[in-house]
Amino acid sequence: MDKLNEILAIATKEAELEPGDDAAFIFGDGWAGRSLDNLLWRLCGKYEELESAIRRDFEITRKAVHVANFAMMIADRCGEEEV
C-alpha cells in the first residue's frame, strides 16, 4: 500500500484531480503537454499494482479510483512511448 499511496500522490499532484475528473479532462487542452513525460515515467509499469490494490482495499476513495484509472491509461501509453 505504500507504493500505491506514493503513485496516487504523484498522479493526484501532477494531474490536479478532483473527484469526478476523468482522463478526458486530464488530456484536454491546457493539460496535455504539462508534465506528461514525467508522469509517464513515474507511472509506467505501475498499473498492475494499482489494480490489485484497488481490489484489496474497499475503503479506497473515489478520487483514488479516478487516479488509478488515469494511471492505467498512462501506463498503456508506455508501450507506445520511449520514456
At 27-64, the pLDDT tens digits run 444 444 444 444 544 555 565 665 665 555 544 455 56
- Whether 23 shows a pLDDT value over 50: the answer reads no
Residue 74 near residue 17 (C-beta atoms within 8 A): no
- Sequence-distant (6+) residues with CB within 8 A of 65 are 54
Domain boundaries along the sequence of the chain: 2-78
**DSSP state, 42?**
H
**DSSP state, 45?**
T
Q: Is the pTM of this model over 0.75?
A: no
pLDDT value at position 76? 67
